[in-house]
Structures are given as structure tokens and as C-alpha cells.
Amino acid sequence: MPGGSFAANLDAARRARGYSNEELARRAGLNIAAIYRLSDGTHWPKLSSVLKLAEALEVAPTALIEGLSASDLERGRR
């Protein structure tokens, strides 16, 4: 899955499955507000959220962080 941001990767995976943000939130067990923040790039996910999203989307967790650099991931921890 091409990408350069978590939000872009998440959106591509969600669209590939044909899920709305609401459906993704339900399947992943996350709050819809969290999905919106992740989708618009204003929030970085916790590892537990990446794992839930990957399971809901039936993709490897690495697909959601593909194209991100180590500095991108480090910046997301702050």
C-alpha cells in the first residue's frame, strides 16, 4: 500500500475494504472521534490502536506504517 503518512495508509486500507469511518470504528472497537483524528492526520495512534485497525482492515500492521520514516514514528511518540 503506497503511502507516506499513517492517515493516507489508513484511508487507502479503509477504502479498499469499502468501510466508512463509522464502520471501521465499530469493527476496530475505537471511538469514531479517534478514527476522524487518525484519518485527518491530527493524531498519532498508539500501537494497540494500530493493531486493532489492522485486524479490522485485515491487513498487516506494517501496511499502516509503510512509507513512514523512523523520525516520523519518533515524532508521533511525543
Residue 2: per-residue pLDDT: 39
Whether residue 67 is contained in a domain is answered as: yes
Whether residue 28 is contained in a domain is answered as: yes
Whether residue 72 is contained in a domain is answered as: yes
Residue 4: per-residue pLDDT: 62
Residue 73: per-residue pLDDT: 65
- List the grid coordinates of 44: 498519532
Residue with cell 515524532: 75
d(CA 44, CA 78): 9
Arithmetic mean of pLDDT, 2-26: 91
Domain that holds residue 41: 6-76
- With contact defined as beta carbons under 8 Å apart, do 35 and 50 qualify? no
What's the pTM? 0.84
Whether residue 1 is contained in a domain is answered as: no
Which CATH number fits the domain that encloses residue 32?
1.10.260.40
- What is the domain count for the chain? 1
The residues, any chain, with a CB within 8 Å of residue 46's CB and separated by 6 or more, are none
Q: How confident is the model over 22-69, as pLDDT tens digits?
A: 999 999 999 999 999 999 988 888 889 999 999 999 999 999 998 877
d(CA 14, CA 22): 11
